[in-house]
Chain A
Amino acid sequence: MNAIDTAIRAAAASITVKGLTKAYDPQTVVIPPMDVELKAGEFTVVLGPSGCGKSTLLQMIAGLERVSGGKILIGTREVQDLEPKHRGCAMVFQNYALYPHMTVFENMAYSLKVAGMAKAERAERVAAVAKMLGLADYLHRKPGQLSGGQRQRVAIGRAIVREPGVLLFDEPLSNLDAQLRHDMRVELADLHRRIGATTVFVTHDQVEAMTLADRILILNKGRIEQFDTPKAIYHHPASVFVAKFIGAPPMNILPVTGDGSALRLADGQVVAHAPLTGAFQLGIRPEDIVVDGKADGHAVKAALRFREDLGSHSVLAADLGGSIVRIATPFGADIADRLELLLNFPTSRLHLFDAATGRAIPGAQ
């Protein structure tokens, strides 16, 4: 155990956001009033499509962007009007933003130097962090002489060397190739397990969110759609937006009508029995649909359009009452040349959403 691990674990602070808003002018409101609490030591991933305000939220926590209203508390301290350096946050940027003319050592030591730390102590701290991140051999190189993954590690090192209470990541993996991204994801998860800093990680990549997060905060147009554990978000999406955003391929959403006893598709086929009336949206994950087999739901007929074989499984696309449904089945399932499929939607796996608001209807599963 390094001293720096314990220091960061001790410094980890909760983040409380109260009525936080951001608007550039009355017409362009990026974030309407938001309330959320991130626990100390928690790894929170802020997930959303581009332009949903997730980076703005991060920059407001960091102090790089002014708030238009509301409060941000780190620990018990109100920080919304403080300079970034007084907030106890550190940040890792998308393009690393390392200082190109400084060596790895100087990059990592810069904040300590600005803070006026003695030279010997600075060297000691940097050495400890470099050892933890496997950078000890590269301290005298310049960023231009490092690979993408190494630069990323320097950026992380630069952030944690200050022993911050809060660690902020702004899409840090989006510049890396697929393999490296996977490796860095594992490294980040491991790092968080070791140092236990309160972490806010912004991304638009659902895989990063699912694998890294203790809890995922899903934003849509500046509003919180859902804030829950990855498991809960996957199995109990709070809205159509969340349902479609998480999972690959995403959840199937079909318009259905309730006639008081059953839910019917657009072409009249019954998918489930329920004492509901009115228009709804029915959601089911591709891997939950049973092809041909018997399950506790109604069987419906669908026309196969095309199939993609992915090795581990196949993804079928079928036309069901005018909408395309995606089905994930084990690879090699015997559906080779058929055009008609018999699909079974297990009742326990159905999600029901309000047709107008898109919010999940509680207890309707």
Chain B
Amino acid sequence: MIENARSLNIAASLILLIGMLYILGPLYLTLATASQSYEFLLRNGLAWYPGDQFLNNAVRIFTETRIPIQMLNSLAVAFSLAIATCILSFLSAYAIVYFRIRWAGVAFALILATIMLPVDIRVITTYQVASNVFSPVNALLDVSGLNGLIAQVFGAPVQLELSVLNTHFGLIAPLAAHGTGTFLFRQFFRTLPGDLFKAARMDGAGPVRFMFDILLPLSRTSFAALFVLTFLSGWTQYLWPLVASSTPDMQTAVVGLARLLPDSDGEVPDFPMIMAGAVIVSLVPLLMIALLQRYLVQGLVLSEK
């Protein structure tokens, strides 16, 4: 249906304008404040017009804060997370779609359930496991009574302990267990001709060759799309890095930005520098989108070309 009413057009444009104002307003405020000096802030509050201090503030981010090393952390986390998610999702979707597995449906449902249980919901239990990855094993030994038996024979029960808190692995692993990618690949595989797998078998290619020669090249755009999405979500993660890392050198840039606020009351935060930090930290994901935007769209519409 095409509406031509003039009043409706004006109303719609107005709503759009207000929406844009809400999004662009804070962005502008960030940029403007980032280019003013601390003194300006103390005198006038947040800046409504740009100044000439951005470079100065940016240099201070690099010299006076831990943001640079934290950005490296973010980069490591986001990259590893994206790669791990891509590989895991691809393999699990391959297994679910192309092999006759007895419990494939249940497995897929469980994988999908992770979409409904993000880290934000299970943060306490995830923290417990991360602080000792063997805690489920210990609990199992206790509950099953095996530990009692072991205590009788060897004199002491088994208590394994390994903490992954404050490690890159600990930052990445709980985030990588996410079903979106599996779902994406599964949907993509199902758009491919069903006899492809059989044709490859007739040509003498086993499951591994089929995966490398046929499925991987066809999945290029899906890979790119999933990579960008996971990279962005890894870069902007806040809650999990906040609880899983306690030393400034292990924290990610987004957590680091929040930590730039002074701990004591009464002190006015150095907002120009913090805003400059926010701008710098946002540059990386922005660059990522700019470079891979084409694949992002292609991969999400599930075309096979």
Interface residues of A (CB under 8 A from B): 59, 62-64, 83-85, 89-91, 93-101, 110-111, 114-115, 144, 158-159, 162
- CB proximity of A289 to chain B, nearest CB, Å: 44
In the complex, the answer to whether B196 meets A99 with C-beta atoms within 8 Å is yes
- CB proximity of A72 to chain B, nearest CB, Å: 16
B213: which A residues are within 8 A, CB to CB? 110
Q: Among B31-39, B68-76, B198-206, which stretch is in contact with chain A? A: B198-206
Partner of A93, one of B195, B204, B205: B195
Nearest opposing residue in chain A for B219, CB measure: A101
In the complex, the answer to whether B203 meets A93 with C-beta atoms within 8 Å is no
Tell me, yes or no, whether B259 is within 8 Å of chain A by CB.
Answer: no
Nearest opposing residue in chain B for A90, CB measure: B202
- CB proximity of A92 to chain B, nearest CB, Å: 9
Tell me, yes or no, whether B304 is within 8 Å of chain A by CB.
Answer: yes
Q: A85-B204, A110-B203, A111-B204 are in contact. Are A99 and B198 (CB under 8 A)?
A: no
Tell me, yes or no, whether B41 is within 8 Å of chain A by CB.
Answer: no
Q: A93-B198, A94-B195, A95-B195 are in contact. Are A100 and B204 (CB under 8 A)?
A: no
- CB proximity of A70 to chain B, nearest CB, Å: 21
B304: which A residues are within 8 A, CB to CB? 100
Partner of B193, one of A90, A95, A144: A95
- CB proximity of B298 to chain A, nearest CB, Å: 14
Selected A-B contacts with CB under 8 Å, 7 pairs: A64-B202, A83-B201, A90-B202, A91-B198, A91-B202, A101-B218, A110-B200
In the complex, the answer to whether B201 meets A97 with C-beta atoms within 8 Å is no
In the complex, the answer to whether B196 meets A114 with C-beta atoms within 8 Å is no
In the complex, the answer to whether A101 meets B217 with C-beta atoms within 8 Å is yes
Q: Give A89 to B200 CA distance when docked, in angstroms.
A: 13
B192: which A residues are within 8 A, CB to CB? 100
Tell me, yes or no, whether B140 is within 8 Å of chain A by CB.
Answer: no
Nearest opposing residue in chain B for A144, CB measure: B305
Interface residues of B (CB under 8 A from A): 192-196, 198-205, 209, 213-214, 217-218, 304-305
- CB proximity of B131 to chain A, nearest CB, Å: 46
In the complex, the answer to whether B204 meets A115 with C-beta atoms within 8 Å is yes
B205: which A residues are within 8 A, CB to CB? 110, 114
Q: A97-B193, A111-B204 are in contact. Are A91 and B218 (CB under 8 A)?
A: no
Q: Give A98 to B192 CA distance when docked, in angstroms.
A: 11
A59: which B residues are within 8 A, CB to CB? 198
Chain B binding surface, main DSSP class: helix
In the complex, the answer to whether A111 meets B217 with C-beta atoms within 8 Å is no
Total A-B pairs in contact (CB under 8 Å)?
Answer: 62
Q: Give A347 to B114 CA distance when docked, in angstroms.
A: 74
Q: Give A110 to B214 CA distance when docked, in angstroms.
A: 10
B193: which A residues are within 8 A, CB to CB? 95-97
Q: Give A84 to B194 CA distance when docked, in angstroms.
A: 17
In the complex, the answer to whether A91 meets B204 with C-beta atoms within 8 Å is no
Q: A99-B214, A100-B304, A101-B218 are in contact. Are A84 and B199 (CB under 8 A)?
A: no
* Given A91-B199, A94-B195, 13 more pairs with CB closer than 8 A: A62-B202, A64-B202, A85-B203, A95-B193, A96-B193, A97-B199, A99-B214, A101-B217, A110-B203, A111-B204, A115-B204, A158-B203, A159-B202
A85: which B residues are within 8 A, CB to CB? 201-204
Q: Give A58 to B202 CA distance when docked, in angstroms.
A: 13
Nearest 4 pairs of A and B residues by beta carbon: A85-B204, A97-B195, A111-B203, A97-B199
Nearest opposing residue in chain A for B204, CB measure: A85
Nearest opposing residue in chain B for A59, CB measure: B198
Q: Give A91 to B194 CA distance when docked, in angstroms.
A: 14
B199: which A residues are within 8 A, CB to CB? 91, 93, 97-99, 158
Partner of A100, one of B194, B209, B305: B305
Q: Which of B195, B200, B209, B213 counts the most A-chain CB atoms under 10 A from its CB?
A: B195
Q: Give A114 to B200 CA distance when docked, in angstroms.
A: 10
- CB proximity of A35 to chain B, nearest CB, Å: 25
A111: which B residues are within 8 A, CB to CB? 202-204
Q: A99-B196, A101-B218 are in contact. Are A64 and B201 (CB under 8 A)?
A: yes
Nearest opposing residue in chain A for B192, CB measure: A100
Q: Give A98 to B205 CA distance when docked, in angstroms.
A: 14
In the complex, the answer to whether A64 meets B203 with C-beta atoms within 8 Å is no
Nearest opposing residue in chain A for B203, CB measure: A111
- CB proximity of B9 to chain A, nearest CB, Å: 41
- CB proximity of B64 to chain A, nearest CB, Å: 51
B214: which A residues are within 8 A, CB to CB? 99, 101
In the complex, the answer to whether A97 meets B203 with C-beta atoms within 8 Å is no
Q: Give A84 to B195 CA distance when docked, in angstroms.
A: 14
A64: which B residues are within 8 A, CB to CB? 198, 201-202
A96: which B residues are within 8 A, CB to CB? 193
A144: which B residues are within 8 A, CB to CB? 305
A158: which B residues are within 8 A, CB to CB? 199, 203
Q: Give A249 to B239 CA distance when docked, in angstroms.
A: 73
In the complex, the answer to whether B198 meets A97 with C-beta atoms within 8 Å is yes
Q: Give A83 to B202 CA distance when docked, in angstroms.
A: 9
- CB proximity of B20 to chain A, nearest CB, Å: 40
Q: Give A90 to B201 CA distance when docked, in angstroms.
A: 10
Q: Give A158 to B196 CA distance when docked, in angstroms.
A: 13
Nearest opposing residue in chain B for A86, CB measure: B204
In the complex, the answer to whether A84 meets B217 with C-beta atoms within 8 Å is no
Q: Give A125 to B195 CA distance when docked, in angstroms.
A: 25
A63: which B residues are within 8 A, CB to CB? 201
- CB proximity of B106 to chain A, nearest CB, Å: 20
- CB proximity of A90 to chain B, nearest CB, Å: 6
Partner of A114, one of B194, B195, B203, B217: B203
- CB proximity of B109 to chain A, nearest CB, Å: 23
Q: Give A89 to B218 CA distance when docked, in angstroms.
A: 26
In the complex, the answer to whether A84 meets B201 with C-beta atoms within 8 Å is yes
A89: which B residues are within 8 A, CB to CB? 202
Nearest opposing residue in chain A for B209, CB measure: A114
Nearest opposing residue in chain A for B305, CB measure: A144
A97: which B residues are within 8 A, CB to CB? 193, 195-196, 198-199
A115: which B residues are within 8 A, CB to CB? 204
